[in-house]
Chains A and B, each alone.
Chain A
């Protein structure tokens, strides 16, 4: 069955035909990050797809994945385009290299999982937290609950671990 919900005032929809995305977000709703593992080449992939982008195999199974990593790149949005985000600026869009499978299939790849910087409860991070994060910052996944069967994976600073002394931030900062 499909999902219709509201998040930050935005209508979110998942069609009942969209079985891969429904499965992905159902695991997120249980606060349990899963990705598809290819039955042929064994590589994980993100986001969910019907076939393996590395070997074309259509066979895969959902497996739990340790969702910790480091920020690969980001943007800090000051002028929101969507009304839902107008009251949340500045907000960060993070592209995070998971530790899991980093450097595979080549040294240039990683599972690069998108999310906003958030507090541990999944709400968008306040400005003072935004200012602490840059390329290299260690993060762990948290979730923004939206509806039964739908939560969005998000990222928060992994406070308990060693961080680079200075994450890379935009030079004008």
Chain B
């Protein structure tokens, strides 16, 4: 495709389009997988490699992320017979996917390996609950945690809420605007056969659901699920021999942070998030701007995280995120749909990787919706976005993923269709 005019020709761009995501895979999104994270991860990595068309012997790098709740690369590689030239399992959750894609590019650029598979495997409902209930809620409060958990300030929702509340205070953001994110993502999920929650919700239903911690109602919070996801990254040259059209990586920014990411409330404004800094790396590196993007994957651990990121990455003016997410822009059929799979609010929780997988499929023009499969074996997309229908975005050429760890840290990636 012809690319839009470069927005900044002086920026680092020598890796633009040199690497691609060639394989994506996942397990079912479920509650009660009944198997270990090792088994989940094995399935997802296998599915991603199969999807790429590469052989096991072609994949010689492995990366994963976790928070003491998962298995390790060595086990997955051993179980699938992969001989690795590089592996690393890093600590962390949200924002890791894009960051590790960037690391994979660096590894290959350094000649350390030739194809890297990245996975996240978790029993986020049946083992280590992502909402922080269960064993984590009763663990002793120790050291620095005395400034947080001793005040009942522990879960992600509780930790992020002061940023959200201050945004409402500073900019007049309304609860019904924020709730529109859930309503929109639930519409998308209703066209995603693999989504854990396929039911459509209205804004009123979100606002009527019980309050968890202000401003977050139950339906402002993402789902906790058991699942594993994986993506395969390799060079653009090598990707030509793979099974699907290449999802070329235009630019990446990884775990970009506000000052004092451990206690970001100490530096302000607290209603600004890491995307404010990350955008100055993402757009110049990618050579495009937010206006050029067709589909976004703005992390939705909560409805509000989607709002703040779209705003700070420049998809709308600062402070206008509430209007932006509730005026139809982010819906299928709108100008720039967000989280067309239903995201973390509806499809399943994977700390960000399922939104990257979704955008790869969007760029392939192969979203796995309920549209009929034609005689050529390809899905015949109808672009009818009514419930149970299509979720492929017409002429999707450029996507942006906006990963979120917390208000203080984020990662992002722009991909384009070959």
Contact = CB atoms under 8 A, between A and B. Distances in A.
Contacts, number: 139
A74 B162 contact: yes
Contact of B212 (A78, A85, A168): A78
Contact of A79 (B138, B168, B211): B211
A36 interface: no
Contacts of A83: 137-138
A38 interface: no
Contact of B267 (A79, A82, A109, A135): A109
B169 interface: yes
Contacts of B214: 74-76, 78, 170
Contacts of B133: 81
B174 interface: yes
Interface string B194-211: 000000000000010011
A116 interface: yes
Given A47-B263, A171-B168, A114 B174 contact: no
Interface residues of B, number: 47
A93 interface: yes
A113 to B, nearest CB: 9
A95 B265 CA distance: 8
B269 interface: yes
A74 B143 contact: no
Contact of A78 (B143, B154, B211): B211
A170 B151 contact: no
Nearest to A172: B175
A135 B266 contact: no
Interface of B: 131-133, 137-138, 140-144, 146-155, 158, 161-163, 165-166, 168-169, 174-175, 207, 210-215, 218, 259-260, 263, 265-270
Closest 10 CB pairs of A and B: A108-B268, A75-B161, A73-B162, A85-B152, A11-B140, A73-B166, A13-B142, A78-B211, A77-B213, A76-B214
Given A13-B142, A72-B162, 18 more contacts: A12-B141, A12-B142, A13-B143, A15-B142, A47-B144, A72-B265, A73-B163, A75-B158, A76-B213, A77-B212, A78-B210, A78-B213, A81-B132, A93-B153, A95-B270, A109-B268, A135-B166, A170-B215
